[in-house]
Chains A and B, each alone.
Chain A
């Protein structure tokens, strides 16, 4: 099969639309992850998802059911218990280890072939079915609509919780909104890059965007663009040269962050009088 024939196969087509949907949601929500300094929570939600997926497989359900239940549950837990900066690290850490413990138990109980576990850990982008694609697209669209509707209060509560509270905004409610968005986005992203590499689309593009921009709307836009580019280029390279697509996506997104840091540093140096 030639390369162009490969690109037109249905599993590559499905993968293309799936990474597009994932990158849109992950880029947008990732901006708030970086702004709120909640990369640890994003990391934890991914791993909690692993336990959920393992549990669902054990019960003979679709992994995405377990992912949704566990990620949303953990999101709510962290959103309520970790609304305050002081408690957040501990709440996230305990939630993370409790879920990982469950995940270990579920896997030990499961006697079947561990293939499902492997794809949850590292993604299965070239195995996305039409049904998976529909779910991913729908969830991603829901996340984007929710982000656009809650953009201002989410931004306000994220950058200055005290003033936001004084203006009558419930910082706890916004914490729950954020964690819910993060949980849904994580579920979507796990389909593509897996539990271990959720970060690559959620944190790296947004971190790069925050370094090179100063206005929130620009940063949000750049984060989505970098995520899209990483996802598309990663898929293309994976198909063209082989190797896991999630590896390529991670490599490109991380390089993007590195380049942004170097660019910002050299710009600062240029501005400073010699």
Chain B
């Protein structure tokens, strides 16, 4: 069974089409990078999989079923926000909330301790599990967030910008950890990112969203000059450095010229980087 199948899915928020006609499949135990400009609808894609946003057309199957809110077999790591209330609670308590944070009532499940300890051990945060999150480094906090998301050893793990705000060394550590979680749990992992290079060593597939379209395939099937040029509607060049890093030239025009064709109202490309995310979040909570 494929962990995730999209069949001609279109998503609208209000009147606005975020992206349309997305058709792709994700393989078990694979790692897929979701790339594209800010506001293209990358986080929206995760929220559709989580059942928080309903597609306006098409259908998707998540672990063989219709998407459902709160499915424990789907793990989710939200984009980290810096000024939040998380800072005063410990890593262990935060991971514990991933385990039973939605349960009302008295008493707790007996296996809580064992499940939380397993997640802390898997992500290597046991040594600082009793420190407040506010005292941890960015990389340590992302490890804790991964423990929180993977506490049930989900079959599908959705990560929203796990590398954002980290230095290169910390990025490499988190990439190794994502790979380790995949190898240990057999989860299919979908990672939203804004740079392919740090993830390149572990990524099997790429899902690229731009101009309201979604392309998915093996890395080289998507990240090549012909496909990206067609997707963006203007020439894109890709150079590979001696160390195998890809330099993609032409994407920056997305930001410099929001309306390259005059008539084409790409209202998604010139937004503030996060306004779109917040809008989706507001949509969800309303």
* A86 lies within 8 A of B78 (CB): no
With the chains together, A210 CA to B148 CA distance in Å?
22
How far, in angstroms, from A2 to B64 measured CA to CA in the complex?
78
Which residues of A in the span 58-97 have a Cβ within 8 Å of any Cβ on B? Answer: 83-84, 86
- Contacting residue for A164 out of B68, B101, B286, CB 8 A: B101
Q: Which residues of A contact B93 (CB under 8 A)?
A: 215-216
Given A37-B85, A160-B97, A216-B93, A152:B104 Cβ within 8 A = yes
**A165 CB within 8 Å of chain B:** yes
CB contacts (< 8 Å) of B104 on chain A: these are: 149-150, 152-153
- In the complex with contacts A86-B282, A149-B106, A156-B102, A210-B88 CB distance below 8 A: yes
Given A84-B282, A172-B285, A215-B90, A155–B106 Cβ distance below 8 Å? Answer: no
Is A261 part of the contact surface with B, judged by Cβ < 8 Å? no
Q: Which of B88, B100, B102 has a CB less than 8 Å from the CB of A168? A: B102
- Interface size on A, as a range, is 20 to 34
B281 at the interface (CB under 8 A from A): yes
With both beta carbons as reference points, the residue of chain A lying nearest to B83 in the complex is identified as A37
Flag whether A158 is at the interface (Cβ < 8 A).
Answer: yes
B94 contact set on A, CB distance < 8 A: 159-160
Closest A-chain residue to B277, C-beta based? A162
Residue contact A172 to B286, C-beta cutoff 8 Å? yes
Contact partners of A168 in chain B: CB under 8 A: 68-71, 102
Chain B contacts for A216, CB-based, 8 A? 89, 93
Taking CB atoms and an 8 Å cut-off, the chain A residues in 173-229 that contact chain B are 210, 214-216, 219
A171 contacts chain B at the CB level, 8 A cutoff: yes
Give the distance to chain B from A21, nearest Cβ to Cβ, in Å.
21
Contact A158 B85 (CB under 8 A): yes
B131 and A214: CB pair below 8 A?
A: yes
